[in-house]
Amino acid sequence: MTSRDAETAKRGVLLLGVGGLGCAAALALVTAGVRSLGLVDDDQVALSNLHRQILFRMTDLGKNKVSQARLRLLEQQPDCVVETTARRLTEPEAIGEVAAQYAVVIDGTDNFATRFAANDAAVRHRFPLVHGAATGTRGQLCSIAPGGQPCLRCLFGGPPVRDGATCRNEGVFGPLVGEVGWLMAMEAVKWLQGSGQQLLGRLLTIDVSTAKRRTVSWSADPQCAVCAVPAPLQPACLHST
Amino acid sequence: MIFPPEQPVRPNAPEDAWLERYSRQLLLNEVGGAGQLRLGQAVVGILGAGAMANPLTLYLAAAGIGHLEVVDSEQAAPLCATVRTLNPLVQLTPRPSPLSQEEAAAQMRPWHLALLTDEPILPNDSTSRLWFNRAALQAGKTLLAGWQSGKFCRMAISRAGQDPHAPCLQCAETGTHALQTCSAPSTTLLHMATGLIGSILAMEAIRFLLDNRSATCYDGLIFYPAEGRYESVPVQKDPNCPACCGNHHG
């Protein structure tokens, strides 16, 4: 990256995962005029992806998602800068390192372990994060402010012991993924522009089987293992050590 | 991630490709094999080919709607060409913008559902929604529409073409006043919201074709881009509606 590219990227959006959510969010961002994107995914395009991952075509089957998504985004907007990382980032440190080059991160990954790793990275490395998920007929999204308070762990605690529903075992409606992906891109633009109200401490939930769209509020957990500010040490504590 | 196939791969069997392509949708109780076949037999018309029609057409083609007709004299052909490369199982036909209401109604007759996007496909954009509303009534078709209205985006359905007791788009426009106050979104957010409404139209179209209708289909939906908030708006039939309560049946 040249220094000018690095400067452009600093104003851009990093997408963790280029699946259904990542494809929709990337397309929405590029058509909205965002000119710098980072794409992270280690997967290849499969036929079963095409019912919801709308950046991919038949000719992309078997190829790396990040490279094919980059090609498609450049077709849309030739003056875009799209950096690709064909790896899977699962640790908060690794996520934080890549995220440092971007203004905001969109997490469109498909498993709880990575979602909480992204959350922990956003708290520790202080970057804004847009969380989102969609399986079956339900979707959800929210923003996490740099440093959290509240963060995803204040709401859910931590990842479940067994990974829950995924698109592979439960299925999903493609346009529902599109709706959540588009909303995530709009959250990212709110962070970039400093305009509108982010979904902070507000989880937007969508159930397309009942057509109910609701917002659930939550607040920071003072005992949160990740984002709680440690209480100042009391003199008694100092004496006892 | 690539996971090992559960059965030996037979790359030339078309049924396998069909099962694989729609596997994540076939798993849904709302779809299943029968639902997927139903989607494959559906003919859906999309009026307009711009920012809202783009994700709408992509998601409907990806879901395997059998035949999509896109109406726009200039932009329909390139949109159809792009979407064909996504799913060759779907037939995509570009159609010219209609020049009269009779022509619009004639175009709609083979469709199971008409989808109206927020694009200026008529010279007088401000009246195009009500113009197509009348064409759908004339053709006896259900019309699902999304549009931008000041600081927010809206979606509503006209079922009056098939059910005389149901409201039409004009009832929805004149009958809803109780809107929440909202702040003005940036032009970028407002533009992005049209793509969002395109995705929601695709979802509601699929639900309509599968016959699992519910609130969104019958009520109007409002989205406030600055707040990231939705509002469901009940729509009642206006007994004095000049579009659906006049003598349009002749």
The reported pLDDT for the residue numbered B128 is: 83
- A196 in contact with chain B, both atoms CB, cutoff 8 A: yes
Positive or negative, the CA dihedral A41, A45, A49, A50 is positive
Calculate how close chain B gets to A152, using CA atoms only, in Å. 19
The reported pLDDT for the residue numbered A22 is: 98
The reported pLDDT for the residue numbered B176 is: 62
Nearest-CA residue of chain B relative to A64?
A: B1
Calculate how close chain A gets to B168, using CA atoms only, in Å. 20
- A212 in contact with chain B, both atoms CB, cutoff 8 A: yes
Positive or negative, the CA dihedral B63, B69, B72, B74 is positive
Of A28, A174, A202, the CB nearest to B59: A174
The reported pLDDT for the residue numbered B149 is: 84
Calculate how close chain B gets to A53, using CA atoms only, in Å. 8
* 3 state SS of B102: helix
**Which residues 6-35 on chain A approach chain B with CB closer than 8 angstroms?**
24, 27-28, 31-33
- Mind listing the pLDDT tens digit for each residue in B31-58? 999 999 999 999 999 999 999 999 999 9
Q: Which of B223, B250, B241 is nearest to B133 (CA)?
A: B241
The alpha carbons of chain A give a radius of gyration, in whole angstroms, of: 18
pLDDT exceeds cutoff 70 at A12: yes
Calculate how close chain B gets to A22, using CA atoms only, in Å. 14
- A41 in contact with chain B, both atoms CB, cutoff 8 A: no
Cβ neighbours of B200 in A, within 8 Å: 175, 179
Kindly indicate the confidence band of residue B13, based on its pLDDT and cuts at 50, 70 and 90.
Answer: low
Q: Mean pLDDT across the stretch A13-29?
A: 98
What mean pLDDT, rounded, does chain B reach?
Answer: 87
- Mind listing the pLDDT tens digit for each residue in A179-206? 999 999 999 999 999 989 999 999 999 9
**Which residues 105-134 on chain A approach chain B with CB closer than 8 angstroms?**
none
The dihedrals phi and psi of A196, each to the nearest 5 degrees, come to 75, 180
Q: Check: CB of residue B140 under 8 Å from CB of residue B224.
A: no
**DSSP conformational letter for A58:** G
Cβ neighbours of A211 in B, within 8 Å: 214-217, 219, 232
* Burial per residue of A66-91, b for 16 or more beta-carbon CB atoms within 10 angstroms, e otherwise: bbbbbebbeeeeeebbbbbbeeebee
Q: Which of A151, A153, A39 is nearest to A102 (CA)?
A: A39
Kindly indicate the confidence band of residue B5, based on its pLDDT and cuts at 50, 70 and 90.
Answer: very low
pLDDT exceeds cutoff 60 at A8: no
Of B3, B17, B25, the CB nearest to A51: B25
Nearest-CA residue of chain A relative to B184?
A: A196
Cβ neighbours of A173 in B, within 8 Å: 25, 28, 30, 63, 203, 206
ipTM, 2 dp: 0.91
- Mind listing the pLDDT tens digit for each residue in A127-185? 999 999 999 999 999 999 999 999 999 999 888 776 666 666 789 999 999 999 999 99
- Mind listing the pLDDT tens digit for each residue in A40-51? 999 999 999 999
d(CA A123, CA A208): 31
Calculate how close chain A gets to B214, using CA atoms only, in Å. 6
The reported pLDDT for the residue numbered B150 is: 82
The reported pLDDT for the residue numbered B33 is: 94
Of A173, A186, A213, the CB nearest to B189: A186
Calculate how close chain B gets to A168, using CA atoms only, in Å. 6
Of B2, B202, B230, the CB nearest to A175: B202
- A100 in contact with chain B, both atoms CB, cutoff 8 A: no
The reported pLDDT for the residue numbered A158 is: 83
Max CA distance (Å), chain B: 63
Of B25, B195, B232, the CB nearest to A31: B195
The reported pLDDT for the residue numbered B11 is: 46
d(CA A229, CA A238): 19
More confident: B80 or A229? B80
d(CA B172, CA A48): 39
The reported pLDDT for the residue numbered B219 is: 79
- Mind listing the pLDDT tens digit for each residue in B113-161? 999 998 655 555 546 888 999 999 999 999 999 998 888 899 999 999 9
| pTM, two decimal places | 0.91
pLDDT exceeds cutoff 90 at A81: yes
| Residue A65 tokens, joined | 């998602």
